[in-house]
Structure 1
Amino acid sequence: MTYIAEIKDIPYDKKRADVVLSDGEICRAFKATIKEYGLVEGKNIDFAELKRIANEGEEHIAFTTAIDSLSRGIKSQNEVRKNLKTKKFSDDAVNVTVEKLLSYNYLGDRAYAEAYVSYKGQKTGRRKIIYELITIKGIDKNVAQEVAYAKLSDEEEIEKAISMAQKYIEKEKKKRTRLKERAYCFLATRGFDTDIISSAMNSLDFSEEE
């Protein structure tokens, strides 16, 4: 029967340690897991059992880490995965954690997308919000589009674009040349669709432009 010959600290990782067995096999585990399971030098244990304990401990710590992160604000599935990978959790531990969060309804991309659209929708165009949800937040394209179009109608987008353009025009009216063109570009950079911008521009007064 093999036994734990040595428990070695890892210089670049204060939370984990290498458990070395008498036959030379090495298993890395969280120090919290090592303490919880009473893994000490001289303890009889085979590699399979040691590995099972290490994996079980890692999955538990990954889950509590994710819960702590979610308690500070809603996050997408992709953000949770990235956060856990940054903390060097294994792919298996990350996958188990995400599946558990989903089963408990603690994690949902649609709920995240709805919250994101509500927050960003006041000052950002629908097109840009969809782009950010897909490319930055990792939300499924269909979910991002469905939520954005459901929460931000064309009428609301036009009204918002007009309001933002009016404020821009008021601020820039001393620079009277090419004001219409610059206002169009301003709305484009704020993420509005071209048809929304065109509708908004038709409602604005550029009569004083030189």
Structure 2
Amino acid sequence: MNVVAQFGIYQGKELSDTELNEILTSELRARFFDRAVSYLVRSPKTEFQVRRYLKDLAFKKKGKWFEDISKEDISSIEEFVVKKLLEYEYLNDEKYAQMFVESRIKNKPRGKNILYGELVSKGVSKDIIEKVLEETLGDEYSVLVATYRKKFKEEKITFEDRKKIDFLRRKGFNWDLIEKYINNESSK
């Protein structure tokens, strides 16, 4: 909404310091919200990533959008923007985590350990990560098999194949799963 209309400003109207500060805060909230939405349009993000973006934006725009504003005011603007984004469901860490895991399984198969670490680095809570990995990843063994076959085709694997075992470990698969796969392959 236009600030002039929102605050009933007209030529010659006297504004108190409180009203001026309120107008500035309202304008900054709108600008930060617009920028956050533009940031989210490019690709989904987590709440943590948006908060970091807003902090960076405040640092970059100091002197351009505002001169002297307290950290508390910036923090309250950040809270306002995040609350609005959550309210409009533009931010949802659980949906983000599901999309991320599904995309990784499809395009760059990884084990549970790697996916867990990637989601933690994006600021997703551990509870959400565990829930999403349980629901979305499903059978990690089949992901391991697909990852192995994509790289090594129909080559057999044994306990002496350090290169192949290390490859699977780097992809985030735990030893128990790798051992199960080697035992299944050697029994064929």
TM-score, normalising length from structure 2? 0.75
Q: Give matches, 1:131-170, under 5 Å.
A: 131-134=117-120, 136-153=121-138, 156-169=139-152
> Which of 58, 62, 67 does residue 88 from structure 1 map onto?
58
User: 1:126 is aligned with what amino acid?
Assistant: K
- CA-to-aligned-CA distance 1:79-127 (integer Å, 9 cap, x gap): 1111111111722111111111111222111111110011112311122
Q: What are the ranges of 5 or more consecutive residues in structure 2 without an aligned counterpart?
A: 60-73
How many percent identity over aligned positions?
A: 28
| 1:1-210 paired onto structure 2 within 5 Å | 44-88=14-58, 90-122=74-106, 123-134=109-120, 136-153=121-138, 156-169=139-152, 180-205=161-186
1:194 offset after TM fit, Å? 2.5
How many equivalent pairs are there?
167
C-alpha distance in structure 2 between counterparts of 1:201 and 1:177, whole Å = 6
CA RMSD of aligned residues (A): 3.2
Contact 2:85 2:91 in 1 (8 A): yes
Alpha-carbon shift at residue 192 of structure 1 (Å): 1.4
Q: Which has the higher helix share?
A: 2
SS of the residue corresponding to residue 124 of structure 1 reads coil
Contact 1:126 1:191 in 2 (8 A): yes
Unaligned runs of 5+ in 1: 1-31
* Displacement after TM superposition at 1:45 (Å): 3.1
Asked if the contact 2:159–2:182 (Cα under 8 Å) also holds between the matched residues in 1, the reply is no
Aligned-partner SS, 2:54: helix
Taking CA–CA contacts closer than 8 Å with sequence separation of 6 or more, which of the two structures ends up with the larger relative contact order? Answer: 2
Q: Is the 8 A contact 2:104 2:110 kept in 1?
A: yes
**Residue of structure 2 equivalent to 1:28:** none
